[in-house]
Structure 1
């Protein structure tokens, strides 16, 4: 791969991943009914509204889910994968149709990573700055709480020690091994394209 291709891959991957992360966060924040007035929520809404508002006119919500934001995330993921494959191969003659199942698999992987890194950030922040009112930490906690709460209720009281993050970490790892790995192989996606 030439130097220009490597630079192109780096730029496309970085910028595309950031845009994709913001779009997925928009879906997750709406899913958990996070604080709309949080400054980070406001940024995410303003960033995604230009693409999401026209899409909502065509794709309605269903059962409280913002289906338009899921579709926008899938489109963004597909375009990012296509750009990366075009840059890597140096040709636009790529398997456009066979890449369609790659987008949901890569999106599933990204959501698992959001939960993994979000949980890691909250665990470290609870040691360094407990009871912090940082807007980012508040949003991360709001995203993670629906996944952690049921596990926390099932575990016995350990005298102030919360072991639920360990269970969630292990669950994420099991899902990556037992579900995500076989999915990547089933759709024929190159492992190097996982973001």
Structure 2
């Protein structure tokens, strides 16, 4: 039963929640909307986001409907995992909200750790590659890396900013856990 919970939890977090997370992050990072991967994310999330958008207008550059959709999907994932026995005991409403928010924060952190690893690997294997995936990873990672590069410039041609950001994100992940 534990392995089934792991598979279902991973699929929910990696496939479903991450797609809605991308729906929130792509406009904030000013990702190219004509990118094939961006288009796929938009198409997959539209069934939930578009009805919410009729009720929740954007606030400035922040798409509130996408954020609410992300929270709804995360809450559904936590509820399903609780029903499968992934979380012991009975939740009070405040505990449920806390678990949903902490799980969402951990998902965001883990997403960026994975994206930064991909960013580094792509910079070693195929620097300057013009592909939809590389462009998307670059657009998502640069806002995190830019402030660190100002503090720690490249040393002898090696850019260690991704390493320091990953270490910081891992420390934050441990603190939340």
Q: Which has the larger radius of gyration?
A: 1
Q: Does 1:16 pair with 2:19?
A: no
Distance in 2 between residues matched to 1:11 and 1:147, nearest whole Å: 30
Asked if 2 retains the 8 angstrom alpha-carbon contact of 1:40 and 1:136, the reply is yes
Q: Displacement of 1:136 after TM fit?
A: 1.2
TM-score, normalisation: structure 2: 0.89
> CA shift at 1:95, angstroms?
2.3
1:143 corresponds in structure 2 to: 140
Taking only aligned residues, the RMSD between alpha carbons, in angstroms, comes to 2.2
2: distance between equivalents of 1:80 and 1:132?
35
Tell whether the 8 Å contact from 1:60 to 1:68 is kept in structure 2 after alignment: yes
Aligned residues: 175
Structure 1 residues not aligned, in runs of 5+: 182-195
Q: Which runs of 5+ in 2 are unaligned?
A: none
Is the CA contact 2:22–2:41 (under 8 Å) kept in the aligned structure 1?
yes
| Structure-1 separation of matches of 2:7 and 2:165 | 32
Q: 2:155 matched to 1:154?
A: no
Q: Deviations over 1:19-76 (max 9, x none)?
A: 1110001101011110100000000000001110110111122231112111111111
Give the Cα–Cα distance (whole angstroms) in 2 for the partners of residues 68 and 96 of structure 1.
Answer: 26
Contact 2:119/2:141 (CA < 8 Å) preserved in 1?
no
Once superposed, which parts of structure 1, at least 4 consecutive aligned residues long, lie more than 6 Å away? none
1:123 to 98, 106, 120: 120
Pairing partner for 2:69 from 72, 77, 99: 72
* Aligned twin of 2:160: 163
